[in-house]
Amino acid sequence: MERIWWDNIPIAARYVRDIVDAIHEERSMVLLLPKTTPWRDALRQIVEERIASIPDRSLYVLPCPEEEPGRYLLRTSCPEERRLAYRSTKSYAEFLAKEDCVLHTRILWIEIARAVDASAWVDFIGAYQHAMERDVPRATFILALSEDCAKCRGRKGIPYRVLADEVSEYDRYAFAVLAASDGDGQRHLRVYLASLAATLCGDDIELMAVCSRRGMAFLRDPQGVLRQIAETETRSDGSPFDITGVMEELPRLIWRTQLRLVFPVIEDRRQHYIEQMRRQLVANGDVPEDIEIGPLFYRACQKTVTCTPTALAELERLKDARNKLAHLDELPFEMVDLILRHQ
């Protein structure tokens, strides 16, 4: 599923491409990637794969050091005799920028949990870039932040990219559609599966993937499946799924999905039966286009219009479904299943 997200969803694929392009051009970036970021480790792995062809440069992944950035880089990038040559009359960034050291050939992906640490690293990167001469190799820094850092935004030459701000409802639904195609749902229910997963899971793409994979079980019992997922499965980083918000809103979210998908089918079927019964309706003095599904069903019951027992059963089902949706009630899955077979 992580490859579907990072390779096939346009906004996510562009996010990867922008990181790769920045590394090729030796431009540093700040990425806000909170815990809800889907397949966070896979993003880094894909970037690493795509920059493997850059000659004489390697990607180093490290947790944020406890030392201040300049002191850490001096210690890890310069031999001892050059470290001893450092004087506090210069900043670490200025000193390292002028040194012939391995730092300038490195791509550093730094995982940062705290905003205060991110700010220190951005300050260092800005000073380092300013001190570097033009058109010479330089280190590239990719700061992967777990929490927002207001001080890091708007820094000249260091883009601050927030994936969550770029992903739209369309992107989430596009992923849900692709994920649903891998599930065990029947063909006529795949759009419903994608819509239900996208609506219930919202920004949590990984939860959406798990729900889609459950297919028919999820459609029949969304509440039960969500609880089971929370109890037995974890996100790609090992953390638990948080379903608190969706469980509080579950009936309303299911109803909203059904209103969007089932209601148009009810209307299409109403039009279908009106066309079949048009002559009889006109003969009875009705204006066919004005007759709603309920009155149409009652006319069929009173035999003022004729229809088969199968059609009568469907009209009753459509009437009941319309009434439930109009009163903000969710439909049982069995009713949704039967109605969507005619879409």
Residue at token pair 């949704």? 336
Residue at token pair 């039009």? 271
What CATH architecture does domain 2-166 belong to? 3-Layer(aba) Sandwich (3.40)
* pLDDT exceeds 80 at position 184: no
Nearest to 159 by CA among 19, 11, 10: 19
Kindly report, residue by residue over 257-293, the tens digit of the pLDDT: 999 999 999 999 999 999 999 999 999 999 999 999 9
Residue 260: what residue type?
R
Kindly report, residue by residue over 5-40, the tens digit of the pLDDT: 999 999 999 999 999 999 999 999 999 998 889 999
The CA distance from 325 to 331, in Å, is 7
- Give the pLDDT of residue 241: 95
pLDDT band, very low/low/confident/very high, at 134 (cuts 50, 70, 90): confident
Kindly report, residue by residue over 305-340, the tens digit of the pLDDT: 999 999 999 999 999 999 999 999 999 999 999 999
Kindly report, residue by residue over 73-102, the tens digit of the pLDDT: 999 999 998 999 989 888 999 999 998 899
pTM summary value: 0.87
Kindly report, residue by residue over 42-73, the tens digit of the pLDDT: 999 999 999 998 888 889 999 999 999 999 99
Residue ranges of domains in the chain: 2-166, 168-242, 265-343
